Structure 1
Amino acid sequence: MKVYIDGQLVDKSEAKISVFDHGLLYGDGIFEGIRIYNGRIFELDAHIKRLEDSARAICLELPMSLEEISQATVDTVAANGLRDGYIRLVVTRGAGGLGLNPYLCEKASVIIIADTIKLYPEEFYQNGLDIITCATRRPTPASLSPQVKSLNYLNNVMAKIEAIQAGTLEALMLNEQGYVAECTGDNVFVVRDGVIFTPSISAGALDGITRRTIMKLAVESGYEVREVYMSRYEIFTADECFLTGTAAEVIPVVSLDKRTIGSGQPGEITRELIAKYRALVAESGTPVGV
């Protein structure tokens, strides 16, 4: 495997960063997770734009132009001969002192990893996930906007630990007011009476790129989509529930906190959107040329 680090493609065994890098010391940096389908990078421009937005939000100066980052991403995928897989694009603050001061970091570092991924076994896409509500809350936007894809994911990691310890693969996260924000790495949708609902980004949900794609596909298919403040009650009493995310794609949820959702099987609208999403990603995106 070849990994891109600061202008060079190096073997995986040679991919190293400084122990003084603030991304390692403080989680000071940003990232994007991007998918490769059928030799194309899905929504590359949207991911690069979101990376830029995250950088601006935390006063991180990107060391390359957006065009250069995009080309480096394509080159990394091509160097690994991938037609289907996952890209982790990381920008760290760079090496600096042991203190918090980010202005002592001379230059940010860009790291691009391209590999295969399987977040959930295929059986869960067919039969659905059972999930729980975790005690760990989504951080308040007053501390850091949920739209920033920060390297500090410890909050999400702790929520994932709760899920695994409870015998599930995913957990629902609430905000400080008790409204649904998102899951540990995925956006949440429910269907009731043919209408599709998803938590508003002002409730703490990431404005996910897969989220946006599904909302667009749903509207094009004739469904009404509403962004709302959502409680667990709306999920307990929904006809259908599903999650979306770059790594997860679109996956059904059939129970929350031991309450069966709908029929207890993936719903008709969920299955329709899964099929439409898979058809879209198979033929869309930036060509890699491998």
Structure 2
Amino acid sequence: MVHGTHNALEDDRNKDIKIYINGEYFSRNDAKISVFDSGYLVGDGIWEALRLHKGVLVFLEAHLERLWSSAASVGMTFPFTKAELTTIIHKVLDKNGMSDQVHVRIMITRGIKKTPSQDPRLTISGPNVVIIPEYKKASEESKQKGITLFTSTIRRGSPDYLDPRLNCHSKLHEVQALIQAIEAGADEALMLDVNGFVSTCNATNFFIVKNNEVLTSTGQYCMNGITRAKVIEVCKKHNIVCHEKNFSLFDVYGADEAFVTGSFGGITPVTKIDGRQIGSKPFGDMTQKLSGLYHDLIAETVANEKEYH
């Protein structure tokens, strides 16, 4: 079995989900996109992932803001507003009768090309919009076990050629990093920035704990993670010291605890990095505390949203 931060419990309901493509709904086996789609041809697309908890799309505004920022960065214009896209997402969820423990993936490409080419002027349609909702509950067993990391030689890119904060379809360098980690016997990859400082993982953001203080990267060379931001917010709210600064593998190997964050898995402990044991137990005290506080924040967000409506 594949082990990592995206381990989900099997759910037979996913066989019958309805997938949204440009205003129409398709079964899993019939959901297809043209080979002339710009995302398929040259990775010209952006995406976002949301969690549905008890009928509420958690941290929706932050996710939409990131999506619109990504669109502006690549020069893509949407034919809908944030409110209209929100309505579409809820219609997709209603179509599937979904209300809890759902992962929603939104993918928007520039559109259909006249011929295979990078040139955006050869796009002959509006953006292609795909929304895939799946029942996905993180495996608690995997979370308690924790994950192992391997430091890849593939670096996170510099903002002047492919900003690491951009949630785009061009993820090949992250795939390469993950392949290195898997071949080294680890679950996922730890990635350094262009200056050799610790940046992020291939699909999650990275934190360490030392002397009851939390440390993460500056954010300049890592994914613009919503969960990362919420963990930092939680630390500030509960007077837990959290630094955003440059640090190296020297600091990582001597850490008391390490964990990663992501929209799907929330907070997942890291037990080994490059074969070296991190901490004295799989789920460290600070990691457990922050995991609980993060789940409290989700519950508070859900309650406030329901009260508002």
**AA matched with 1:253:** V
- In the other structure, the counterpart of 2:129 is 110
Query: CA shift at 1:284, angstroms?
Result: 2.5
Contact 2:166 2:224 in 1 (8 A): no
- In the other structure, the counterpart of 1:239 is 256
Aligned with residue 169 of structure 2, among 138, 151, 156: 151
Question: Could you report, residue by residue, the CA deviation over 1:259-286 in whole angstroms, capped at 9, with x for unpaired residues?
Answer: 2212143211110111122233245246
Q: Distance in 1 between matches of 2:97 and 2:300?
A: 18
The DSSP-based 3-state class of the residue aligned with 1:60 is coil
- Structure 2 portions without partners, runs of 5+: 1-16
Asked if 1:262 is matched to 2:251, the reply is: no
* Matches for 1:110-149 after TM superposition, within 5 Å: 110-117=129-136, 121-149=139-167
**TM-score, with structure 1 as normaliser:** 0.93
Q: Distance in 1 between matches of 2:204 and 2:242?
A: 18
Contact 2:101 2:137 in 1 (8 A): no
Aligned with residue 268 of structure 2, among 230, 251, 266: 251
Aligned with residue 64 of structure 1, among 73, 80, 93: 80
- In the other structure, the counterpart of 2:43 is 27
Query: CA shift at 1:251, angstroms?
Result: 0.4
Query: CA shift at 1:118, angstroms?
Result: 5.3
Q: Distance in 2 between matches of 1:9 and 1:253?
A: 39
Q: Distance in 1 between matches of 2:184 and 2:142?
A: 17
- In the other structure, the counterpart of 2:207 is 189
Aligned with residue 51 of structure 1, among 64, 67, 71: 67
* Matches for 1:13-24 after TM superposition, within 5 Å: 13-24=29-40
Asked if 1:41 is matched to 2:61, the reply is: no
CA spacing shift, 1:115–1:91, aligned 2, 3 Å: same
Out of 84-93 and 275-284, give the one that drifted further.
275-284
Q: Distance in 2 between matches of 1:116 and 1:136?
A: 32
Query: CA shift at 1:9, angstroms?
Result: 2.7
- In the other structure, the counterpart of 2:245 is 228
**AA matched with 1:23:** G
The DSSP-based 3-state class of the residue aligned with 2:297 is helix
Out of 124-133 and 7-16, give the one that drifted further.
7-16
Asked if 1:73 is matched to 2:89, the reply is: yes
**TM-score, with structure 2 as normaliser:** 0.87
**Percent sequence identity over aligned pairs:** 34
How many corresponding residue pairs?
285
Contact 1:18 1:95 in 2 (8 A): yes
Contact 2:213 2:242 in 1 (8 A): yes
Out of 28-37 and 70-79, give the one that drifted further.
70-79
Q: Distance in 2 between matches of 1:39 and 1:212?
A: 23
Runs of 4+ aligned residues of structure 1 deviating over 6 Å after TM superposition are: none
Q: Distance in 2 between matches of 1:186 and 1:19?
A: 30
Q: Distance in 1 between matches of 2:112 and 2:132?
A: 20
Q: Distance in 2 between matches of 1:124 and 1:276?
A: 20
**AA matched with 1:9:** Y
Computed over aligned residues only, the root mean square deviation of the Cα atoms, in angstroms, reads 1.6
Q: Distance in 1 between matches of 2:39 and 2:29?
A: 20
Out of 261-270 and 233-242, give the one that drifted further.
261-270
Query: CA shift at 1:239, angstroms?
Result: 1.2
Contact 1:186 1:248 in 2 (8 A): no
- In the other structure, the counterpart of 1:279 is 296
Q: Distance in 2 between matches of 1:273 and 1:48?
A: 25
Query: CA shift at 1:87, angstroms?
Result: 0.7
Out of 249-258 and 73-82, give the one that drifted further.
73-82
Question: Could you report, residue by residue, the CA deviation over 1:45-97 in whole angstroms, capped at 9, with x for unpaired residues?
Answer: 11111100000000011122111111111221222222112111010010012
Query: CA shift at 1:206, angstroms?
Result: 1.5
Contact 1:22 1:94 in 2 (8 A): yes
Q: Distance in 2 between matches of 1:23 and 1:50?
A: 19
Contact 2:148 2:273 in 1 (8 A): yes
**AA matched with 2:112:** A
- Structure 1 portions without partners, runs of 5+: none
